[in-house]
Structure 1
Amino acid sequence: MGIADLLAGVAGRGEFGVWLGRLDGLPVFRHDADRTHYSASTMKLPVAMAMMRQVESGKLALDQPVTVHNDFASAAGGRFGVNPAEDEAPATWTRMGEQVPLGWLATEMITVSSNLATDLVLELVGVDAANAVLTEYGSGLSAIRRGIDDTAAQAAGISNELSPADLAAVLVAVGNDKGASGDYLRELLAANTWNGEIPAGVPAGTRVEHKNGWDTRIRHDGGIVRPADAEAFVLTVYTTSDLPDAEAQKLIGSVAAQAWEHRHNLEAIR
């Protein structure tokens, strides 16, 4: 069963987008790849990229101390805090009121998808700087407009949106970055501990540099898959649907499995 068949099997149950290609940035398979979805935690990769740009410029340093707090400016005005009940990464919460290195927060943001760590990093980096990454590499359809759990902004229609194609463009940029920032970001992505989507569809031990995201009706993943016996490929899958979460994860894994089967001749997947 090919990728098109897998998508046909869930037709009418939501919105599904796929982008598949190599690190040259040229797609070999697209399905609704320009349609934006609520980004969930996939927006954390552009945040990390914006952070590393400021580290390179000297504005920030990975070893600089950041006081852990849970009070942030809302994009809709006023203040908000991250809901601890919806943050599945507890370590940052245990450091409340303490100073931790910025690099430690970045690791928590990407490898365990900490929402609190994300908003602390985003507060330093700035929403505009994070969004500028998408503006540079993406189509103009995707945007980062607020922090995680900014419920007032969400109620006002201020949302973070990403398309499969734009996340793929960001991943291609990371994959082709030969500098220290590229190395740093790729290592963070490879250390992701939430591996129920793309990594589940490829053989155990395969290096996958990926960032996923999930919320109610949302399950996304995008990454660079590096087979030992073929060229690396980039795959992004976004699902906003009525599928049970486990089924959405399985769908993404099945798409990844099909891409893996065609890794020696990815163009044949068309």
Structure 2
Amino acid sequence: MGIADLLRGVEGQGAFGVWLGRADGTAVFTHEAERTHYSASTMKLPVAMAMLRKVDAGELALDQPVTVHNDFASAAGGRFGVNRAEDEAPATWEKLGSDVPLSWLAREMITRSSNLATNLVLELVGAEAANAVLAEYGKDESVIRRGIDDSPAQQAGISNLMSPAGLAGVLVAVSNDESGQYLRDLLAANEWNGEIPAGVPAGTRVEHKNGWDLRIRHDGGIVRPADADPFVLVVCTTSELADRDAQQLIAAIAAEAWQHRHDLGAVR
């Protein structure tokens, strides 16, 4: 069963987008790849890239102390805090009121997908800087405009959007950045592996960032087979599928890509 067959199997149940291609940015299979979805935690990758740009520029340092707090300026004006009950990464919350290195927050943001850590990093980086990274490499309607759980902004219609093509563009940049090993290692250490990594053989290096919310399940990554060239895969889903079924769909698409890793252009 090809990727197109898998997508036909969920036709009418929501919006599904796929971008599959080589690490040089050449697409070999796309399906509604320009259509944007609510980004969920996929926005954390451009945030990390913007952070590292500021580190390289000397504006930030990975070892600088950051006080952990839960009070942030809203993109719509006013203040907001992260909903602790919906943050599945508890370690950052255990540090409330304490100082931690910026590098520790970056690891929590990427490997555990901590919402609180993300907002602390974004507060230092700025949404404009994170969006600039996405605009540079995404080149579509993907956008970062606010932090996680910014309720006033949500109510004002201010949202973060990501398309498969947009996230793929960022991943291609990560894959080809000579100084990007730090970020690639963080992505490879992602502890939430129910999507793309579940569709390839155990032990395969997958540098990926996923995201999930109500009706949302996305994953995008660089897959590095030991016996073939790396490839980039992004799948975004906004649907009525049960969350586990959405994960299994992404894993099945990854498995199909894996089967064609020696001749990626043969994917259908």
TM-score bin (small chain) = over 0.9
Moved >2 Å (runs of 4+): none
Separation in 1, partners of 2:40, 2:135? 18
List per-residue Cα deviations over 1:115-139 (Å, max 9, x = no partner).
0000000000000000000111112
Separation in 2, partners of 1:255, 1:140? 23
Find the residue that maps to 1:221 and give its secondary structure.
Answer: strand
1:197-212 correspondence to structure 2 within 5 Å: 197-212=195-210
Aligned equivalent of 2:27: 27
2:154 is equivalent to residue 190 of structure 1: no
1:217-228 correspondence to structure 2 within 5 Å: 217-228=215-226
Separation in 2, partners of 1:161, 1:28? 23
Find the residue that maps to 1:116 and give its secondary structure.
Answer: helix
Aligned equivalent of 2:67: 67
Aligned equivalent of 1:84: 84
Find the residue that maps to 1:18 and give its secondary structure.
Answer: strand
Aligned equivalent of 1:255: 253
Letter in 2 for 1:183: Q
Aligned length: 268
Aligned equivalent of 2:236: 238
Separation in 1, partners of 2:58, 2:140? 28
Letter in 1 for 2:104: W
Asked if the contact 2:34–2:140 (Cα under 8 Å) also holds between the matched residues in 1, the reply is: no
2:130 is equivalent to residue 134 of structure 1: no
Separation in 1, partners of 2:123, 2:93? 17
Aligned equivalent of 2:267: 269
Identity %: 76
1:173-188 correspondence to structure 2 within 5 Å: 173-179=173-179, 182-188=180-186
List per-residue Cα deviations over 1:239-260 (Å, max 9, x = no partner).
0000000000000000000000
Asked if the contact 2:153–2:159 (Cα under 8 Å) also holds between the matched residues in 1, the reply is: yes
2:207 is equivalent to residue 214 of structure 1: no
Q: Which runs of 5+ in 1 are unaligned?
A: none
List per-residue Cα deviations over 1:157-200 (Å, max 9, x = no partner).
10000100010000000000011xx0100000000000000000
Question: C-alpha root-mean-square deviation of aligned residues, in Å?
Answer: 0.4
- TM-score norm. by structure 2 comes to 1.00
Aligned equivalent of 1:109: 109
> Shift in Å at residue 140 of structure 1?
3.3
List per-residue Cα deviations over 1:65-97 (Å, max 9, x = no partner).
000000000001000000000000000000000
Aligned equivalent of 1:172: 172
Moved more, 111-120 or 148-157: 148-157
Letter in 1 for 2:222: I
